[in-house]
Structure 1
Amino acid sequence: MVYEENLPSVTQVSEYSEEKPSYVQKMKVNVPAQAYASDEELELSKYVTKTKILVIGVGGCGCNTVTRLYNEIKGEKSIRDSVYSSISEYVHFVAINTDAQHLLSKTKADKKILIGKQTTKGLGAGGDPKIGENAAQESREEIRAKLLDIVGETPEEGFSKVITFLTLGLGGGTGTGASPVVAEVVKETLASPVIAVVTMPFSWEGRVRVENANAGLRRLREKVDTVIVIKNDALISDEEIRMMTALDAFKLVDDVLGKAIKGLAELILRPGEINLDVNDFLTVMKRSRREEDTVAIITIGESRGKADRGGRVKEALENALNSKLLHIDLSTAKAILVNIIGPPDLRMDEINEVMTEIYNKVGGNANIYVGTSIDESLEGRVRILIVASGVKQENVMVRPKQRGTELFKEL
């Protein structure tokens, strides 16, 4: 159904809560009263909100990821045939950097923010996290204003429902130093949960960069709800990835965040037969909290072709679990969400097969959330989203390639 833009708006109010309601959100959308069959439906419509997904890249690595995902989700060539085309209006990209030249010539986003104009003069942070932090502190108000501009501010000073992904590489100056400040501003301004997707440096990048990354990860954990950690060393430890071009290998890293965005968007836009909602997703993500030895995992697997119904769910599940970058072990997960998306002929025994395998991996101590939905465009294929938190990941911290041990460098 197509609604005309000039129809009167209806104010919607929804609540988001962690354990107790923490804030009330207000969102204006244009919905004509005549579109509903009854007053009851009109009343219900006031509580239907569309969550916005905000993707913020900080520093050179984060801005590169934002650029690649922006081109894939919102680029001119991808709008018609990309799997992301239906979600493009709900995803907003922000690039934050201290390097003016990189923002100007290499970065694509809905908003670009040059931070620390007085601190760095647009020349970058020079690999110093303290300079990156000072630049972000200098530009707090500009960051706040541009976030409000892209998300939308209502006359009642409420905000639309927002979930924020923060993406960056740790070890350098801007990403490491500015990201905790940016996360803090996002929470203060939008009351948004923040999920950080970070890369750790190669172990051969040297002691200072590695120790800055480790210290930066500890600081970032204090400001975000959960963190997804990708170690760059995984790009050279896997034989298949080692033979890829550098560009293709780094696209695999971006794909981790891309899958997270796509999986979350499907929860938002496609009500299921066994339904999951945004708060189910947030509840699972928040189970990691700030424990140093745990991370969150978001992954999607899909059967490649119109496999027989006995094999397609097994193939999709294996593809979801066999990530070369995340090294997924669900046995320690505290909470897990599984969303099974299939064609109209998706059967109960297939759902049972997936969930039995998941249960056998996580055991009875984890909170398990399951949903199913139908997507006729899959044409016989099955797609499975897995979100897990509280997952213990060995050696999250990177150790430099040198003899002896060193204390992590404090920022």
Structure 2
Amino acid sequence: MNAKIEATPDNIGVAKIKVVGVGGGGSNAVSRMYRDRLPEVEYITVNTDAQALVRSDVPIRLRIGDDTARGLGVGGDPEKGQACAEESRDEVREVLEGADMVFIAAGMGGGTGTGAAPIVAETAREMGALTVGVVTQPFAFEGRRRMKHAEEGVARLKDKVDTLITIPNDRLLIICDEEVTMESGFRMADNILRQGVQSIAELVTVAGEINLDFADIKAVMSNAGPAWMAIGSGSGDNRAIQAAEEAIQSPLLDVSLEGARGVIFNITGGSDLTINEVHQASEVISGVVDPEANIIFGMVTDMKMENEVKLTIIATGFPAEDGSINLADAETVSADSPDLDIPPFLRHHPAARRRMRGATAATAMD
């Protein structure tokens, strides 16, 4: 029997990933991602504001809702943002064509991101793509109206995506050592949004010693609901344990790791990274998640990272209410208030401990 052997095209077996920034915050984050872009990923910005799109260096830019917004934005009105996306659904479908996985990055609370992101996500999912939302929630100082819009936007979006990662901006204030300007605060929020998307995309697109393929990602993230994602780093003798513990204690995301039933982690280090260190990190992670959790991992060698490691965790498979943050509560207390209640799973974070010590000292002086 003669077997027929054919050359396999380079793009066969490679998942096609598209990252879509919707609205101002999402587009800013995707612009930053594009500057450090992964070659296998396609970056897209979607907005109602023509001037904002002109300023973007992302090559694929889609202006939506010309009849509704006339390129002038939607004035912070999510209903108008939704109408713009509905008006341009065919164009959205066109830029998403062929995607296996779509990330929707957006800042919740404004008009275009809040209103249009669920429509973009719904379209991607209808086309068969694994759809992941990564969104920020407003700082408390942005006001109750914006917070209310954000809550409503998150509620709509969570039903349109396979997995939703939420990043409450107020958590940035917990980990800041010093007061930050408003501009740098928003830049930090955009950067965290970028990290959330880029770290997951790297799991699939960056070749590793122990590879995670698209099927691995899909097994954990398909129809998964709320997700927890964080990045930790470590150096020195116990670097893998340090990186895992730092990731677990991250105060940035919306749910704790405890009870997760699906976990992906990816560890990146130099040529001196050992299998035993991967095992050490896995032991730390498996000690916190559900005993029956599906844990899969990847390992990547980066020659620029001698004597240090970076670890990314994505955890899914828990109800939305588990460990979730109440946005209404977040806006009642400022980050430097002595009344700030640090959730138990954050109390070990160094910046959080400093906050608590400062609050205790202030109380003792009263």
Structure 2 length-normalised TM: 0.79
Aligned partner of 2:216 among 280, 285, 293: 280
Residue 118 of structure 2 corresponds to 180
Distance in 1 (CA, whole Å) between partners of 2:182 and 2:65 is 34
CA separation of 1:90 and 1:346: change in aligned 2, threshold 3 A = same
Letter of the 2:309 counterpart: V
Letter of the 2:294 counterpart: N
Distance in 1 (CA, whole Å) between partners of 2:4 and 2:234 is 41
* 1:166 aligns to 2:104 (yes or no): yes
Distance in 2 (CA, whole Å) between partners of 1:201 and 1:118 is 29
Kept after mapping to 2: 8 A contact 1:169/1:198:
yes
Residue 297 of structure 2 corresponds to 370
Distance in 2 (CA, whole Å) between partners of 1:235 and 1:180 is 25
**1:141, distance to aligned residue in structure 2 (A):** 1.3
* 1:96 aligns to 2:60 (yes or no): no
Distance in 2 (CA, whole Å) between partners of 1:201 and 1:181 is 21
Distance in 1 (CA, whole Å) between partners of 2:116 and 2:196 is 25
Secondary structure at 1:284's aligned position in 2?
Answer: helix
Letter of the 1:395 counterpart: I
Residue 339 of structure 2 corresponds to none
Letter of the 1:95 counterpart: T
Letter of the 1:114 counterpart: R
CA separation of 1:201 and 1:249: change in aligned 2, threshold 3 A = closer
Residue 308 of structure 2 corresponds to 381
CA separation of 1:168 and 1:102: change in aligned 2, threshold 3 A = same
5+ residue gaps, structure 1, are 1-38, 74-87, 149-158, 290-294, 403-411
Residue 143 of structure 1 corresponds to 92
**1:102, distance to aligned residue in structure 2 (A):** 1.6
Letter of the 2:233 counterpart: E
Residue 115 of structure 1 corresponds to 64
CA separation of 1:119 and 1:252: change in aligned 2, threshold 3 A = closer
Residue 361 of structure 2 corresponds to none
Distance in 2 (CA, whole Å) between partners of 1:379 and 1:250 is 29
**1:44, distance to aligned residue in structure 2 (A):** 6.9
CA separation of 1:181 and 1:353: change in aligned 2, threshold 3 A = same
- 1:60-83: CA deviation from partner (whole Å, max 9, x where unpaired): 11111112222233xxxxxxxxxx
Secondary structure at 1:251's aligned position in 2?
Answer: helix
Kept after mapping to 2: 8 A contact 1:130/1:177:
yes
- 1:2-30: CA deviation from partner (whole Å, max 9, x where unpaired): xxxxxxxxxxxxxxxxxxxxxxxxxxxxx
Secondary structure at 1:89's aligned position in 2?
Answer: coil
* 1:262 aligns to 2:199 (yes or no): yes
**1:227, distance to aligned residue in structure 2 (A):** 0.8
**1:45, distance to aligned residue in structure 2 (A):** 6.7
Structure 1 length-normalised TM: 0.71
**1:220, distance to aligned residue in structure 2 (A):** 0.6
**1:252, distance to aligned residue in structure 2 (A):** 5.1
- RMSD over aligned Cα atoms: 2.9
* 1:66 aligns to 2:66 (yes or no): no
Distance in 2 (CA, whole Å) between partners of 1:146 and 1:352 is 41
Alignment of 1:161-240 (within 5 A): 162-189=100-127, 191-240=128-177
Kept after mapping to 2: 8 A contact 1:342/1:381:
yes
* 1:56 aligns to 2:56 (yes or no): no
CA separation of 1:328 and 1:217: change in aligned 2, threshold 3 A = closer
Q: How many residues align?
A: 329
Distance in 2 (CA, whole Å) between partners of 1:327 and 1:146 is 30
Residue 346 of structure 2 corresponds to none
Secondary structure at 1:299's aligned position in 2?
Answer: strand
Percent identity over paired residues: 34
5+ residue gaps, structure 2, are 333-366
Distance in 1 (CA, whole Å) between partners of 2:48 and 2:310 is 39
Residue 133 of structure 1 corresponds to 82
CA separation of 1:253 and 1:236: change in aligned 2, threshold 3 A = same
Alignment of 1:307-386 (within 5 A): 307=236, 310-326=237-253, 329-386=256-313
Alignment of 1:70-81 (within 5 A): 70-73=34-37
CA separation of 1:241 and 1:117: change in aligned 2, threshold 3 A = farther
Letter of the 2:167 counterpart: I
**1:359, distance to aligned residue in structure 2 (A):** 1.4
CA separation of 1:66 and 1:373: change in aligned 2, threshold 3 A = closer
* 1:395 aligns to 2:331 (yes or no): no
Q: Which runs of 4+ in 1 moved over 4 A?
A: 39-48, 399-402
Distance in 1 (CA, whole Å) between partners of 2:11 and 2:19 is 25
Secondary structure at 1:361's aligned position in 2?
Answer: coil
